[in-house]
Chains A and B, each alone.
Chain A
Amino acid sequence: MVIDKQKVCVIVPIYNEEQVINKVISELINYNYKVLAVDDGSSDSSFENIKDLKCTVIRHPQNFGQGAALQTGMSFAKLNPNLEFFVTFDSDGQHQVANIENVLNPLIRDEADIVFGTRFQDDLTKVTFLKRIILKLAIKYTQLSTGVALTDTHNGFRAMNKIAINKIELNFPGMTHASEFVSKAGENNLRIKEVPVHVLYTKYSKRKGQSLWNAINILTDLFLR
């Protein structure tokens, strides 16, 4: 099915990604998607590097965390009546623009309200042993606490339709929002689907990416809320 890509809003939360952000956003624009960048109070020149591109950029006055930036993007995106689908996309170059179609397809065919990209349904993504174990534990915990069975819960690649974006409201400003996405989707009885996506771990993204220690912070957040 062909879809007007200008009706697809790709929300990109950004925090200090000056080295790669221009390339990531430019590629999304080249694919003709509507790009909404949320600068989460970057202290480097991330904002300057994209402000002249053909995209919409909104800014947080200071750094609050990826969850906060995503929710700001979602709150803003909802206001545009021409948008039909919403994609959340990492700013560090890990996600592949070509995969956006994969996460959109179930929405276009009206088989789901929210689609999660997963790294574990095929062998395309290479994940280190320790990371794999911690991610699997996180998945198990999310399954137990939310009742939603997914194969990958901490992947930033997702797509939603209007129903989902109106029902999901993220409260955790930090990285806990990934579990929150799943639990809110479950609580609101949204139709959930998973599709495989390829996550490319470059030297840059590994250095910039989430420390495995964050698993402890996420667990504390989920427990003490």
Chain B
Amino acid sequence: MILKLVLVIAISVFGLWLLRARKTARVKAWQKLIIVIFVFSVIAVTLSERISTQIALLFGLNRATDVLVYATIILLLFISANVYLKFQDLQNQIVKIARRVSVQDGLKKYPEWEKDA
């Protein structure tokens, strides 16, 4: 049970770090690594029940299926949060471009705005 708790905390902290510092090269690399690790785990589980059961036991779980279910849920949450943040970044970029257009249009409309009285 303690192992499970430690696992949950570790995954949460790691996930949060990946989300908050998402623009650094290290984090971007980790994001790809996680997906690769996940893919290999799925392959391992598919190929051999014994390996997967051992992995499960390592995490304090009895069945390999449970490991897969938990891993999938974590991956899903992680991807949703990532997509959400990516959309926010994109929206901010659009807002910045629109702002430039609005300000330039404003200066065209009110040419006296930038001049000293």
Q: Are A and B bound to each other?
A: yes
B106 touches A56 (CB 8 A): yes
Does A210 reach chain B (CB closer than 8 Å)?
A: no
- Shortest CB-to-CB span from A78 to chain B, Å, is 10
* Residues on A with beta carbons closer than 8 Å to the beta carbon of B19: 224
- Shortest CB-to-CB span from A16 to chain B, Å, is 17
- Among A61, A62, A76, which residue has its beta carbon within 8 angstroms of that of B103? A76
Within 8 A of B (CB), among A56-96: 56, 58-62, 64, 68, 71-72, 75-76, 79-82
B98 touches A58 (CB 8 A): no
B113 touches A60 (CB 8 A): no
Does A186 reach chain B (CB closer than 8 Å)?
A: no
A79 touches B99 (CB 8 A): no
Known: A82-B117, A224-B81, A224-B85. A58 touches B105 (CB 8 A): yes
* Residues on A with beta carbons closer than 8 Å to the beta carbon of B106: 56, 58, 76
What mask results when residues 154 to 189 of chain A are scored 1 for a CB within 8 Å of chain B, else 0? 000000000000000001010000000000000000
Q: How far is the CA of A79 from the CA of B99 in the complex (A)?
A: 14
Does B72 reach chain A (CB closer than 8 Å)?
A: no
- Shortest CB-to-CB span from B100 to chain A, Å, is 9
B102 touches A60 (CB 8 A): yes
Q: How far is the CA of A68 from the CA of B102 in the complex (A)?
A: 11
A75 touches B84 (CB 8 A): no
Chain A interface bracket (under 10, 10 to 19, 20 to 34, 35 or more):
20 to 34
- Among A60, A80, A224, which residue has its beta carbon within 8 angstroms of that of B98? A60
A58 touches B117 (CB 8 A): no
Known: A56-B106, A173-B92. A80 touches B114 (CB 8 A): yes
- Shortest CB-to-CB span from B14 to chain A, Å, is 15
B92 touches A58 (CB 8 A): no
B101 touches A79 (CB 8 A): no
B113 touches A61 (CB 8 A): no
- Shortest CB-to-CB span from A66 to chain B, Å, is 12
B116 touches A75 (CB 8 A): no
Does B54 reach chain A (CB closer than 8 Å)?
A: no
B103 touches A224 (CB 8 A): no
- Shortest CB-to-CB span from B74 to chain A, Å, is 17
Does B110 reach chain A (CB closer than 8 Å)?
A: yes
* Residues on A with beta carbons closer than 8 Å to the beta carbon of B20: 224-225
A75 touches B99 (CB 8 A): yes
Does B34 reach chain A (CB closer than 8 Å)?
A: no
Does B62 reach chain A (CB closer than 8 Å)?
A: no
- Shortest CB-to-CB span from A79 to chain B, Å, is 5
A68 touches B95 (CB 8 A): yes
- Shortest CB-to-CB span from B115 to chain A, Å, is 8
Within 8 A of A (CB), among B62-117: 81, 84-85, 91-92, 94-95, 98-99, 101-103, 105-107, 109-110, 113-117
B107 touches A224 (CB 8 A): no
- Among B92, B101, B116, which residue has its beta carbon within 8 angstroms of that of A82? B116
B95 touches A64 (CB 8 A): yes
Known: A80-B114, A81-B114, A173-B91. A59 touches B99 (CB 8 A): no
12 A-B contact pairs sorted by A residue (CB < 8 Å)? A60-B98, A60-B99, A61-B98, A64-B98, A68-B98, A72-B98, A75-B99, A76-B103, A76-B107, A80-B113, A224-B81, A224-B84
